[in-house]
Structure 1
Amino acid sequence: MNNSQGPTSDNSPDHGGHGSHLPDETGTPILIVGAGAVGCLTAFKLGRAGIDVTVIECLPATSDSPRACGYYGPIQPILNELGLYELIRKEGFMTKGLCWRKKPKDDGKGGKVLGEMIAFQPLSAPDDTTYDVGNGLLNLPQADLNKLLLRAALGTGHVQVHFNTELVSILGNSDENGVIARVRDVATATERDLRTRYLVGADGARSVTRKSLGLPFPGHTWPERLIATNVVIKNELDPTWHTHYVLDRVHYTIATPLEDPVVGESTLWRYTIAAAPDDTRTDDELITDENILRRYEDVIAGPRPLQVRIQARATYRIHQRLAPTMRRGNCLLVGDAAHINNPFGALGLNTGLLDAEALGEALIMVLNENYPSSLLDVYSDERRKVFQMFVDPVSTQNKLRLHSIDADTAVEDDWYFRLMKDPSKLSHKQLEELSRPFNESWRTDMRALAKSF
């Protein structure tokens, strides 16, 4: 194939000879399907351990779609262990936490001010300005994180990335012979077969890998669509909690900065607003300027008329789904290819990155340290448990809390809002109980689990 150099932009840094040719029929130890953030982190972790990795991606470049943008404390130590935290922090910025608000209200001057704060979730001390690893919310749009992880993976010298190359099917999958994958050059429609020891499906919710393995994707789809927008707004105020949810029975919203929000300057924000469940308009109709600006009137504070500039827009269906296994033979699933959940609470990409860390460690142990391949079953079981017992229920309640409770009685009605109305009054025991699932259950320590082998 002649397309393996990929794009010549920030999406595809100087390969230094990497990615020029797909492997021949003798194969590659690891083939990763999907060059998104999760696929690139998996490739980076394996590459820095000296394992050769080939990544294929059906798109011509990494995606710039409006997606995730915040990374919690439990994720940060892992990024730090991998030598990535400072790189991400240099390109991104820190915020102190998040809050829940009522809709903006009239300011008496023709504009609107932020709605009353219902509750808040501090992620660092109020006076923290240094944000040691694990404190605060680390912010960087997923598209930028993806490019950073791609550069890091290629920089190991053991990773090749081939854009415009898609998985067609899996022809063989056995412990003895590894995996035979049929791939296609998107531009020329030329197909060829690749042999690999292990194939990792990091190809998202519509995963061809998962479908090729014959795995169902049970769960459910929420009735409403989300309208995700990147928008430039002038920062009139400096609230302590920049990332905020707006409660509403229909058009509930999350707003979060994509650039450091300096007062008096115009910076990029993400506003994701729910459409009505019974809205029959097409996706294209939902993302017209007219409809988006109408929704902004209800959820963006500031002088009127609003002075905003929309830079990106997309609609999404949201789901709660989990594959019945994350391992089938020598094929493994990671991230959205294995599980998906609604985005409220930022549990999607963060969980995928934790999958990548766990799977990368397991594969290193199997390939470099002669651990039995059954360790990969442990990976599958443990990461599915994390979704079933933590990610799915917590993300579900995060969403329901935004539109199933009256904003005026939220503190009175909901135990969580009642606790977080003033977190400074919580006891150490209460804080520990609230944070335990995030700190103890979310990550999977493959080294500790392997001690039973």
Structure 2
Amino acid sequence: MPRPGRAPRSAVRRAPGGSPSRLRPRARARRGDAVGANGEYEVVVVGAGPTGLHLAGELALAGVRCKIVERRSERSKESRALVLQARTMEELDMRGMATAVLDRGHPVRQLEVSPGGHLIDLTVPDSAYPGVRALPQWETEEILEERADELGVRVERGVELTDCRQDGDRVVLSLRSGDREWRERAAWLVGCDGARSTVRHAIGDRFEGDVLPHGILIADVRLDSPPASPRWSGWSRGRSLSSSASAGDATGSPSSTATGPHSDGPVPVEEVDEALRTVFGLDLGPYDATWTSHFRINERRARTNRSGRVLLAGDAAHVHSPVGAQGLNLGVQDATNLGWKLAAVVAGRAGEELLDTYAEERRRVCLEAVATARRLPVRAARQLGLRGVARFPGIRRRALARVNGTSHRYRSTAGRRRRGPAGAMVGRRVPDLGLSDGRRLYEVLRSGGFVLVDQGAGSRPPVPDAWDDLVTHLPGRVRGPRGPWLGTELFLVRPDGYCAWAGPRSRAAGDLAVVLPCWAGRRNVPRERAGAWPAG
């Protein structure tokens, strides 16, 4: 296992099963040309957590000049978010980072309903990433930051955004580091700065929602005698819910524990003892609690994810109960959705209306996540719900798909669909299909462009020349889990792995002439002629 504090070189390799692939940004500027002639960045990202780091990497992959400012001078080594769900793992695979997580994380494939009781299989039938992966947040951040650094992203730590305002086609940032204060300008600003977002406050966006009456205790605990196998446990004792993502090894590894009503102040050792006994159903012996924290459960979301040239992502846009392990995962998925869209707008290919689909698509996913997180404690408290999930595979699959992100459907895309099997694909996640040349779909998506899968026997489909270098054509039959993609002649996959269009070759010319301008922009024009980055 890699030494803590250093990201492995595998962070930029593909997942097992093929040849290595280094990350190469499209239209990548030289490192010395990372800013424009006026010393401005096209995009400034506030916050070097998982959301901000992944978003900056996505933008840099598309050739966008961007940097990150982070208030903290160094990365926290607290576990915090510990679970990576199947859909997040798939999106990391699409950018060549899954191997690093597999190397450093611990597999968790079962949910234990009660101590020694029912076990629920967490594996996903149509995903290469069964169960969940337990990995402390700081290690996930290391993997994401190594990729961003490979792509030329600058991370400025110890730099705090104190305010921002929009001035025509620029955003003016007020920054502070120690006793020094200054201003900078950027074309776009994205707030990935957490639940107490300075960016959100600066644009006057309301954080609507509720504070729940109960709270959460989180503890990083190193056990002298960790459980034999990693597991995720959840059940009720009275009115409390306890959950744990345990990553056991010879030395003992961090476990996160949630339980009880909210209380302010330091966490007494007796409360940690009680939580561990509740979670595991037995006395685990000596342990070292390296970090403990109480916090209230908030279920809130920003009224909008965008105000002009300022956008919000991750916890800055939405927070909710940690039950179900959604927070970090939703933030990474926000970044995957937003990155290619903002890059197209910055390059001048697409209009700003493309960014409206980010707010629409991710807002719906956030609402579903909040509803799911609210339902889980109720079902756990009753016990019957989880036992039903354990007994009936169909219920289990549907419940898991809601939690792990594999069932999300983007309705803004689905609104452009036709009826029939091909139309049923549009807006849905496309699994990692095997290709006729031995590669995988997710490998091809690592370029950050669109992919047109062509299972027909005819000539090359009519992709307009203006979009030809944005679309990779993949002829040949695909292999994978059962689904409509196996029998559909042509389908277009977005850079984030969702289906943008599907249909027969007879309709391709007319449909692609509409769909590609909608999602990829009006033309692939050179950046210096795009008009999105004027001089002066």
Common topology (TM > 0.5): yes
Alignment TM-score, normalising by the size of structure 2 = 0.67
Instruction: Name the Cα RMSD after superposition.
Output: 2.9
Determine if the alignment matches structure 1 residue 148 to structure 2 residue 152.
no
Kept in 1, the 8 Å contact 2:242–2:275? The answer is: no
Report the Cα distance in structure 2 between the residues aligned to 1:24 and 1:182, rounded to whole angstroms. 20
Displacement after TM superposition at 1:418 (Å): 4.1
Displacement after TM superposition at 1:442 (Å): 6.2
- Letter paired with 2:294: T
Q: For residue 440 of structure 1, give the secondary structure of its aligned residue in structure 2.
A: coil
Displacement after TM superposition at 1:330 (Å): 0.5
Report the Cα distance in structure 2 between the residues aligned to 1:435 and 1:310, rounded to whole angstroms. 31
1:397 to 357, 361, 375: 375
- Letter paired with 1:181: L
Do the aligned partners of residues 295 and 432 (structure 1) sit closer, same or farther apart at CA in structure 2, a change above 3 Å counting? closer
* 1:43 aligned partner: 56
Report the Cα distance in structure 2 between the residues aligned to 1:396 and 1:24, rounded to whole angstroms. 50
* 1:330 aligned partner: 309
* 1:92 aligned partner: 105
Q: For residue 93 of structure 2, give the secondary structure of its aligned residue in structure 1.
A: helix
Report the Cα distance in structure 2 between the residues aligned to 1:123 and 1:301, rounded to whole angstroms. 24
Do the aligned partners of residues 56 and 242 (structure 1) sit closer, same or farther apart at CA in structure 2, a change above 3 Å counting? same
Displacement after TM superposition at 1:274 (Å): 2.1
1:230 to 209, 220, 241: 220
Q: What pairs up with 1:159-238 in 2 under 5 angstroms? A: 159-174=153-168, 177-185=169-177, 187-188=178-179, 190-235=180-225, 237-238=227-228
Kept in 2, the 8 Å contact 1:253–1:271? The answer is: no
Displacement after TM superposition at 1:268 (Å): 1.4
Determine if the alignment matches structure 1 residue 139 to structure 2 residue 134.
yes
1:354 to 311, 327, 333: 333
Displacement after TM superposition at 1:452 (Å): 7.4
Displacement after TM superposition at 1:199 (Å): 0.3
Displacement after TM superposition at 1:451 (Å): 4.7
Q: Deviations over 1:58-89 (max 9, x none)?
A: 11112223311111222222111111111221
Q: What pairs up with 1:280-295 in 2 under 5 angstroms? A: 282-284=264-266, 287-295=267-275
Percent identity between the two aligned chains: 23
Q: For residue 120 of structure 2, give the secondary structure of its aligned residue in structure 1.
A: strand
Q: Which has the higher relative contact order, 1 or 2, with Cα contacts under 8 A spaced 6 or more apart?
A: 1
Displacement after TM superposition at 1:227 (Å): 1.3
* 2:511 aligned partner: none
Report the Cα distance in structure 2 between the residues aligned to 1:228 and 1:442, rounded to whole angstroms. 32
Q: Deviations over 1:229-258 (max 9, x none)?
A: 11112446535x61111322344211112x
Report the Cα distance in structure 1 between the residues aligned to 2:35 and 2:41, rounded to whole angstroms. 9
1:296 to 276, 280, 283: 276
1:420 to 356, 368, 389: 389
Displacement after TM superposition at 1:369 (Å): 6.0
Report the Cα distance in structure 1 between the residues aligned to 2:202 and 2:243, rounded to whole angstroms. 35
- Letter paired with 1:299: V
Kept in 1, the 8 Å contact 2:45–2:67? The answer is: yes
- Letter paired with 2:265: D
- Letter paired with 1:270: S
2:407 to 418, 421, 440: 440
Determine if the alignment matches structure 1 residue 363 to structure 2 residue 342.
yes
Kept in 1, the 8 Å contact 2:78–2:291? The answer is: yes
- Letter paired with 2:408: S
* 1:343 aligned partner: 322
Kept in 2, the 8 Å contact 1:25–1:193? The answer is: no
Q: Deviations over 1:402-432 (max 9, x none)?
A: 44x2xxxx22xx3xx2432324xx35xx566
Kept in 2, the 8 Å contact 1:173–1:331? The answer is: no
Q: What pairs up with 1:249-328 in 2 under 5 angstroms? A: 249-257=238-246, 259=247, 261-262=248-249, 265-277=250-262, 279=263, 282-284=264-266, 287-302=267-282, 306-328=285-307
* 1:80 aligned partner: 93
Displacement after TM superposition at 1:303 (Å): 5.0
2:67 to 30, 54, 68: 54
Alignment TM-score, normalising by the size of structure 1 = 0.79
- Letter paired with 1:365: A
For structure 2, the residue ranges without an aligned partner over 5 or more in a row are: 10-29, 414-426, 428-493, 502-514, 519-536
- Letter paired with 1:69: L
Residue-pair matches, total? 392
